[in-house]
Structure formats: C-alpha cells, structure tokens
Amino acid sequence: MSDKAFGFKIVVVGDAAVGKTSLIKRYTTNTFEKDYISTLGMQFSRYEETLSGIMVELFLWDLAGQESFATLRDRFYKGSSGAIVVFSLAPEEIETYRNIIKWLSHVKDACGNIPIILFGNKADLVDQNAISTSPDYETSDVHVQKFAQDHNISEYFRTSALTGQGVKEGFQTLVKKLYHRATF
Ligand code: G3D
Ligand code: MG
C-alpha cells in the first residue's frame, strides 16, 4: 500500500501561450525550456510535494495546442481538486486577462466551488513598479486583486516561469489549501 495519504488533481488553464506548460515545468523541475515541443490535446505531470513533512501527490494537468476543446472538457476537468487560472502580464497579451472570466466559468461549471489561484505570468516582461503602483494599467495589482476578490479566487500571484518568481509560492498556496480542505 502507498504511504501517500493525499493525492490531488490540479488543472492549469488559460489562453494558449500564457505559459501554463512552462509554469508546470518550472514548479516540478525548476527549469525553463525555451523550445519545448507542444503536443495536441492534454497532458499531465506527476509531482510529489512535501508540506511540513507530509507527502502530497499532485497531478498537474494542462492543455497543449488546441485550447478550445469543448468535446474534451469534461474529461479534462473531471476529478479536479483545485485550479490555477493563468493570464499573461505582457501588455500585448492583455486579451488573456480579459479571457480569464471564460476560464473561471469553465472551472465552475465542471468542478463547482473548488479553490482557484490566479497567476499573472511573464512578470519578467513588465516594469514591476509600474504595474504594481499605476492604477492606469488594467492589470495593475489593485485591479487584479479586486477582480480576484469579486470572483471568489483565493489568491493572486505575479509569476514568471522564466525567473521562477512566485511560482513555487503560488502552487504551494493552492496545495496547502487543498490539504486543509481534505483534512478539516
Ligand atoms: P502555454 O502552455 O500556456 O501554451 P507555454 O504556454 O508554456 O508554451 O509558453 C508560451 C511562450 O511563452 C513560450 O515562448 C514560453 O517560452 C514563453 N513563456 C512562458 N512563461 C514565460 C515567462 O514567465 N516569461 C517569459 N518571458 N516568457 C514565458 P515561445 O517563444 O517558445 O513561444
Ligand atoms: Mg502548453
């Protein structure tokens, strides 16, 4: 019998090219691969996280290539304990922020009220001071935090799969939440 008491499926969703695969790779192997080969359909990585000495087995699912996949949606989301919704902070990819509402509704339709963490990825591409302080930016921290609160999102992290900023912290925050939900 396995000594792993806990196993969680986590779906990582968001528009194509926001960095879902790169974030999973950064978290599970602590590397960044510039030119990985994308495959069609969905893929998952298995990862063992240890929280205060307790081993937690994670199955991290993401979509590769075709992000509009209505027919596969049920299979992809089935059995998920938590979700990470990702958009890109790169100014020319602002559309990916406006689209998170769609990803949130997919998660809620398929999984009900599971914990959701929001990642604003590619933080390395933007002027950190500008986005955190200037309310002119649609993706400034104040605006995104407000959006997160209004949509029942547990927490928001600015991340970079390239530098590693916020990645481990963000994933671990979700895992802790799932663990608490499962034990209390
Ligand atoms: P996806 O799985 O959501 O489709 P990918 O996204 O992980 O494939 O990433 C899409 C592109 O964005 C890749 O570039 C990848 O290298 C880049 N990328 C992912 N995360 C970051 C990040 O945090 N910072 C920066 N600067 N780039 C990132 P290519 O050029 O291979 O398309
Ligand atoms: Mg991908």
57 vs 48: CA distance, rounded Å: 5
pLDDT at 84: 98
Mean of pLDDT values over 162-167: 97
Report the separation in Å between the CA atom of 37 and the middle of ligand 2, taken as the mean of its atom positions.
Answer: 9
In short, whether 122's Cβ falls inside 6 Å of ligand 1 is yes
Joined together, the tokens standing for residue 54 give 């307790």
Joined together, the tokens standing for residue 24 give 């999973």
In short, whether 165's Cβ falls inside 6 Å of ligand 1 is no
Joined together, the tokens standing for residue 66 give 């075709």
3 vs 178: CA distance, rounded Å: 18
In short, whether 16's Cβ falls inside 6 Å of ligand 1 is yes
For 115-155, the pLDDT digits (tens) are 999 999 999 998 766 666 566 788 888 899 999 999 999 99
Q: Give the whole-number percent of the chain exceeding pLDDT 70.
A: 84
> Number of folded domains in the chain?
1
Confidence of residue 1 (pLDDT cuts 50, 70, 90): very low
CATH code for the domain of 140: 3.40.50.300
As a whole number of Å, the CA-based R_g of the chain is: 16
Confidence of residue 35 (pLDDT cuts 50, 70, 90): very low
Count CB neighbours of 137 within 10 A.
19
In short, whether 124's Cβ falls inside 6 Å of ligand 1 is yes
| Helix-strand-coil split of the chain, %, nearest 5 | 40, 25, 35
The pTM score is 0.92
Containing domain of residue 134, as a range? 3-183
Is residue 25 within 8 A of residue 33, CB to CB? The reply is: yes
174 against 32, higher pLDDT: 174
